[in-house]
Amino acid sequence: MPDTNMERVEQYLSRKKKAAKGDEADLYQRFEQLYSKKLWYELANEVKKVVYAPPLGLDLKEFYDSFISDFEHRINLLQLAEITIPIANYIFAKDRDGALAFLEKMGRTVKKDVQAKIRVDVGQIKLRLDNKDKNERCVDIDTVRALIESTRKEIDEKVHGVQSVHVAFYKVSSVYYKEIGDYASYYREALRYLGVEDLTTLTTEEKHVHAVLLGFAALLGENIYNLGELLAHPILHALENTAEVWIKHVLDAFNEGNIDKFNTYEREWSEWDDLKRRKSGLMNKMRLLALMELALQRTSKNRQLTFSEVAKACQVEPDKVEHLVMRALSKKLIRGSIDQVNGEVLISWVQPRVLNEDQLRGVANRIVEWTKDVSGMEDLVAANARDILTKA
């Protein structure tokens, strides 16, 4: 009895080959050869290339129904999951519910492989984020939130090392946080994504968009005070020679606690509504960073700051210094105490941050001074050792 599935596949490939020309006809010839020889691994690799860069006019749903579905049970499940993602995206453009149903079906198909199931779930998250109403709002953000939480739990508990599913998940979860306006979570998640992504696969435009969005998130994110990690990231090179290069300079100003430098770029950043509306919050954040930088510039034995020194460095009125320091203490940016009687602040610890070159040079200079102090103490002890021993 003839294999009707095989006949259906052969008829589909033959029809596509006859309708195609040149390289595209050769492609279907290649599919026929691999399929007839049952070289499933090689066939899956070729199919994956096609679905991610399909020939003009190729109906990916038909490609799946008439071809891939016949041998999907014979290939690696993670590879199958990766193949289905662009197919689902193709279906989504014409039938949103159909695309989600397709991925739900594929999730059941690949469920025995943890990473494959995660990859399909991530694909579903992306489509649900893309499913927006006429006001460009996500139709079912609660479902997306639940999927993000459950998928993160699966990855944390069952996926070891850095895998391809991490790249896909961090990318889509950062989009989710951007969608709900959570700048701080977007900042952290986008940095995780870029930390596992191969940046050479991103276009110049994609790099530029990531750099701009990360810059805004760093400035606007609640409790984001460690900007050094972003400043050291190569993604910011995408801002060079563009109209948004000022973002890099403003980030530098924040990291240095340099209020005057920040103010010099007010014309640029005030053109962006998100930043303009939050000017007060930006200044509060800048003042906290200025306080941290002021303390960092001092040696550990010389971190007793007067209210007037803090007021000048942080550009606040003297009667606002105590409130500023209390905010820094409550946010655990510093440790120390306030001497209200003498109008002084004693800072014993500053929250660790990724430092730039100038800040590192400052730390190195303080280490040199500390080494000199230690050497001086050693010399003093050595010189007086006999007297100390005699008295003992």
Angle at 194 between CA 193 and CA 200, to 5 degrees: 130
User: What is the model's pTM?
Assistant: 0.87
Neighbours of 268 (CB within 10 A): 16
Return the pLDDT at 260.
97
Tell which residue, 53, 45, 50, has the closest CA to residue 80.
45
Return the pLDDT at 382.
62
Separation between Cα atoms, residue 81 and residue 222, nearest integer Å: 36
Residues sharing a CB contact under 8 Å with residue 319, sequence separation 6 or more, in sequence order: none
Q: 54: which DSSP letter? A: P
Separation between Cα atoms, residue 69 and residue 134, nearest integer Å: 35
Task: Collect the ranges in the chain with pLDDT lower than 50.
Answer: 1, 392
- Per the CB < 8 A criterion, the answer to whether 126 and 175 are in contact is yes
- H or E element in which residue 47 lies: helix 40-52
| CATH numbers and ranges of domains, the chain | 296-391 (1.10.10.10)
Return the pLDDT at 99.
98
Going 322 to 324 to 327 to 332, the CA torsion angle's sign is negative
Length of the chain: 392
Return the pLDDT at 146.
98
